[in-house]
Amino acid sequence: MINVGIIGFGTVGTGTAKILLKNKSLLRNRTGIRINLKKIADLDIKRDRGIKLPDNVLTDNVDELIKDPDIDIIVELIGGTGIAREIILKSIRNGKHVVTANKALLATHGTEILKAAGDMNVELGFEASVAGGIPVIKVIREGLVANRIKAIYGIINGTTNYILTRMTEEKKDFGDALKEAQKLGYAEADPTFDIEGVDSAHKLAIIASLSYSSQFSLKDIYCEGISGISPMDIEFALELGYKLKLLAIAKRRGAKVELRVHPTMIPKEYLISKIDGVYNAVSVEGDAVGATLYYGKGAGDMPTGSAVVSDIVDIARNIVSNSTGRIPLMAKPEKAVGPMKMDDVISMYYFRFSALDKPGVLSKISGILGKYNISIASVIQKGRREGKAVPLVVLTHKAREKNVVMAIKAIDRLPVVASRTVFIRVEHKEPD
């Protein structure tokens, strides 16, 4: 029998407990192992979560779990980077295997936690930390183990994908779409982490670290959110054959990895551009397998609980077969790879200039672009308002981010440019 203790009886904790109870015999039959939910700790042990627990399972004392010699696996589901970190480290020091869904903690203190787990020879499961119910960590680490990972493109934040979907389908502006998402429970009262891309960056740090056997953290990731996106740019994108998505991108470039989260235009016909609403999807490109994609619910009690329980089962199987550590916590890199500076990233770009509608303007703008080695793929001027500002949309060929930033700065100083230029990166996958 494997005893499990859950710390944090919120949404995911409840989902996890429900699955462990409801599918107990299923799990037993599939694994040959009795997985027993021995304890759940939470500060609030009164609230009704719509689940009937056996007697003596609930406690408000975390130590009852961490110090219980019978408990094999501690599941940390309280979130945040404070108490959660202490609980995990203490559990590890007490020889417990740990399962967590805590992306913020892993993306900021991952190195410390992995080291502690390695020192104590305990397992650390974190499938639920990225893309909810989609088993993308297992896929990257095991299913695609034969592959050098060329690139990852992820829609790994349901809140922003919902907002962008509504802005695209209903031509809503950002504020209205956000309000709608909040009303439906898809966005939090303070949505900053989601809409500014921080949550996606946390998750990207985790999957990129696994994919490239390096310990990337939040500070290695360029991060830009969607709060500045206007419906006009979504419209223009569609006209040009693109959908606008908040993508988390990791891309191998020699000894460096591009790591970036930002609004991205992707060709309409790509499968990932068709992922709408709160759903998540992660596209992983391997050198052998080519392009693959994994899709499902990125949040919620039961989907995330599904991922937590899959980690519990993996660890239980290892305990029973005496093979903990069967998969190293962190693989050795072939060569050390570091994060690429955003300045050095090469991308295509969409620019929307607010240019006065008068002769010679395009020549001034394209002159500056040319000076910075940015070549134009296509130009569309929308509408005519002589002497007034109109949107001038430019798509570029591949250019260097640093040059783009400098060029835009110079262009925004031109008297014929009425307001700050909008620029959005455009992503085409490399051909296989």
Q: Which of 39, 150, 203, 297 is catalytic?
A: 203
Smallest distance, Å, CB 358 to a copy of itself? 44
Smallest distance, Å, CB 145 to a copy of itself? 5
Lookup: tokens for 141:
């680490």
Nearer to a copy of itself, 124 or 411 (CB): 124
Nearer to a copy of itself, 15 or 191 (CB): 15
Nearer to a copy of itself, 254 or 415 (CB): 254
Smallest distance, Å, CB 33 to a copy of itself? 10
Question: Which sign does the torsion angle of CA 105, 107, 112, 118 carry?
Answer: positive
Query: Which residues contribute to the site for a copy of itself (CB under 8 A)?
Result: 15, 18-19, 23, 25-27, 29-32, 127, 133-135, 138-139, 142-148, 213, 271, 274-275, 286-297, 300, 302-303, 305-307, 309-310, 313-314, 317-318, 321-323, 325-328, 331-334
341 is catalytic: no
Nearer to a copy of itself, 53 or 320 (CB): 320
Smallest distance, Å, CB 16 to a copy of itself? 9
Nearer to a copy of itself, 315 or 392 (CB): 315
Smallest distance, Å, CB 256 to a copy of itself? 18
What residues are labeled active site? 203
